[in-house]
Amino acid sequence: MEPNCPTSSNDYAADISSIRQAQVRIEPFAHRTPVLTSKTLDSIAGRKLYFKCECFQKGGAFKFRGACNAIFSLDDDQATKGVVTHSSGNHAAALSLAAKLRGIPAYIVIPKDAPKCKVANVKRYGGRVIFSEPSMQSREDTANKVLQDTGAVLIPSSNDGRIISGQGTISLEFLEQASDIDTLIVPISGGGMISGVALAAKAINPAIRILAAEPMGANDAFQSKSNGRITKLSEVNTIADGLRAFLGDLTWPIVRDLVDDVIVVDDKEIIQAMKLCYEILKIAVEPSGAIGLAAVLSDGFRKNPVYSECYHIGIVLSGGNVDLGVLWNSFDK
Amino acid sequence: MEPNCPTSSNDYAADISSIRQAQVRIEPFAHRTPVLTSKTLDSIAGRKLYFKCECFQKGGAFKFRGACNAIFSLDDDQATKGVVTHSSGNHAAALSLAAKLRGIPAYIVIPKDAPKCKVANVKRYGGRVIFSEPSMQSREDTANKVLQDTGAVLIPSSNDGRIISGQGTISLEFLEQASDIDTLIVPISGGGMISGVALAAKAINPAIRILAAEPMGANDAFQSKSNGRITKLSEVNTIADGLRAFLGDLTWPIVRDLVDDVIVVDDKEIIQAMKLCYEILKIAVEPSGAIGLAAVLSDGFRKNPVYSECYHIGIVLSGGNVDLGVLWNSFDK
């Protein structure tokens, strides 16, 4: 199969139908987030930009969509035993919140060196925290032990059809709110969000371009696309703490086939984009959330003639969980 | 006439009809700003809260509504000569932007000690800056000289029917977006916004409560309501730089009759509300903009049995023009 050539949706872990079902399932719980526009940013970018503000989603990030879909997909027998994940970020908080709404336990395995504020976030939403050692091996082992002890269901943060379907609801809303969008720019990490967004958007408008935005210091998706196979990195280094994961076996085929290109930006560009989000859009956007704006302002995008016909660009601002002091201190004042 | 007893709208500088006309007039230019909600803030406040996010309005504040209405109300002969105001804040920037959209000059008299960022804002939107001495007398004299020299039209920031009508469009949108609102909380300074909001809201729903939020250090509206006449202060002292003006002869009768009460809060409460806006709502709100949230969380509101039946509260977050460093430095870390 050629890259960029959509196959039958049967090949993938989700499709427009599962995404529409997710929309119905999460609608009572999730926010329909607003879309903001700014003439000032349009003039800086030289295009018409639409910003889908997932920083205003429950829990402060898009992750609630997938977590909510996953949890409310469980049948009662499965649900009673609860859910497990090993993540210390937005997925953990979102899963805790969604589990609380269903009234079931969420067991969250967190490395013991995780920032206190993230642990506090999980606890605030009622998640039951189990500490592991910092290594991925220990995190997985600990999660497996919790699975065995409790009979709970593992809900991964990205590589899961229920998660992909939930995140895909972003496209359903976004293309209703701004129907002239010809290009979507979406942060990429584990690939759950961009997979759902791409599946839904290309089902609605097969001509739409889907571009991933990825940090230079964690550019596994860029390398995977170049190599034609999942490529993991031995280390990652970026301010965008939500974009350090790698593609999985369910997200990779979708990214391979439906993502038209990966725009790689450096951390300085990400910080500058966060600053513009604050100063011009008046919103708090975390580094991972601002990367789409960084991509559209990057030379790699602006100077590439392939993109000269991207006139109406939808950018997913994926989350807003950034401490004000961190934001302020990251700026080159 | 008893306070709180609406009179015929003929007595006032604006009415529901002029506000509906303003809505049609500004619709091509102004943002219909989104309304955000937060279960977390609801649970802190013990009420259902709706936030009308005027920080996302053009120019970063509600002021664009009134300025745009005023400028597009002018006939062509008047308009050609331009407009004048003496304000260094959001009204000056909004008037500059609206004038630019109509293609006419905006002469902005700014005291020479005004913050550079505010001068820059006015210039960015194409306003022609004329510096005066810092005193109000010099500002008025300079504005009068510009009026004589240019034949331009004076557009005050609050005490003007066109301005009041433009700001009133907030209510038309807000009550459509959240139709169960029983109480509106609005910042008060010169009274232009709350006058328009009150006129429109009470025309739509005569039972709605209109509460003003005012800083302790600039509580002229509270004193005016208590004294039954316009009461000016010899000095003002508050972090809320947008709330230091006094009521005028056109706004006072509306505030006297249609504003049910004034909730006074101190600067610490304002700062705490700004912080909640950033951390929970994920938005940048300036001190003047956050005062409505401060009011709803204040003891003066929560412990007052009169307000025990305010179940669904609409709060106007009036602007977002706050430097990130200022925001960060104002926090008690």
Q: Is the pLDDT of residue A297 over 80?
A: yes
Q: A12: closest CA among A222, A274, A174, A192?
A: A192
Which amino acid makes up residue B102? Answer: R
User: What does the pLDDT read at residue A89?
Assistant: 86
Token readout for A119 is 């642990």
Q: Contacts of residue B284 in chain A, CB cutoff 8 Å? A: 278, 282-284
* Strand pairing report for A35-36 and A48-53: antiparallel
**pLDDT value for A10:** 61
A190/A117: higher pLDDT: A190
Integer Cα distance of A301 and B12 in angstroms: 54
- Please compute the mean of the pLDDT values over residues A75-99 and round it to a whole number: 94
Among A3-12, B188-197, B281-290, name the one with the lowest average pLDDT: A3-12
Architecture of domain B9-62+160-330: 3-Layer(aba) Sandwich (3.40)
- Does residue A313 surpass a pLDDT of 90? yes
Helices (H) and strands (E) in chain A, counts: 15, 10
Over 50: is that where the pLDDT of A145 sits? Answer: yes
- Chain A within 8 Å of B270 (Cβ-Cβ)? no
- Quote the CA–CA distance of A261 and A225 in Å, as a whole number: 8
CA distance B31 to chain A (A): 9
Query: Half-sphere exposure of A268 toward its Cβ, with a 13 Å CA cutoff?
Result: 3
> A282 and B39 in contact by Cβ < 8 A?
no
At A6, the pLDDT band (50, 70, 90 cuts) reads: very low
- Looking at the complex, does the CB of residue B60 fall below 8 Å from at least one CB of chain A? yes
| A 295-324 residues with CB < 8 A to B | 320, 324
The number of helix segments (H) and strand segments (E) in chain B equals 15, 10
What's the angle, vertex CA B102, arms to CA B101 and CA B103, rounded to 5? Answer: 90
Cα within 13 Å of Cα(B285), Cβ side: 31
User: Who wins on pLDDT, A331 or B169?
Assistant: B169
Provide, as residue numbers in chain B, all residues whose Cβ is less than 8 Å from the Cβ of A31: 37
Sign of CA dihedral B164, B165, B167, B168: positive
pLDDT interval class at B10 (50, 70, 90): low
pLDDT at site B114: 79
* Span A187-211, pLDDT tens digits: 999 999 999 999 999 999 999 999 9
pLDDT value of residue A322: 85
Per-residue pLDDT of A148-179, as tens digits, reads 999 999 999 999 999 999 999 999 999 999 99
Task: Using a CB–CB cutoff of 8 Å, tell me whether A333 touches chain B.
Answer: yes
Q: What is the pLDDT of residue B143?
A: 94
The pLDDT value given to residue A258: 98
Q: Report which listed range, A45-54, A82-91, A136-145, is most confident.
A: A45-54
pLDDT greater than 50 at residue B60:
yes
Taking the Cβ of residue A36 and every Cβ of chain B, the question of whether any pair is shorter than 8 Å is answered with: yes
Domain with CATH 3.40.50.1100 in chain B: 9-62+160-330, 64-154
Round to whole Å and give the CA distance between A158 and A288. 15
Tell which residue, B132, B139, B261, B277, has the closest CA to residue B209. B261
Interchain proximity A320–B31, CB inside 8 Å: no
Residue B333 in this model has a pLDDT that exceeds 50: yes
Average pLDDT on B151-176 reads 97
Give residue A5's pLDDT band: very low, low, confident or very high (50, 70, 90).
very low
* A15 φ, ψ (degrees, to nearest 5): -155, 180
Mean pLDDT, rounded, of chain A: 93
- pLDDT at residue A119, as a whole number: 86
The pLDDT of residue B6: 44
Q: Is the pLDDT of residue A146 over 60?
A: yes
> What residue ranges of chain A are covered by domains with CATH 3.40.50.1100?
9-61+161-330, 64-154
CA dihedral angle for residue A235, residue A246, residue A248, residue A4, rounded to 10 degrees: -120
Q: What is the ipTM of this complex?
A: 0.89
Give domain B64-154's CATH architecture: 3-Layer(aba) Sandwich (3.40)
Please give the CATH architecture assigned to the domain spanning A9-61+161-330.
3-Layer(aba) Sandwich (3.40)
Residues of chain B contacting residue A55, judged by C-beta atoms under 8 Å apart = 282
Of A38-47, A124-133, B112-121, B262-271, least confident by mean pLDDT is B112-121
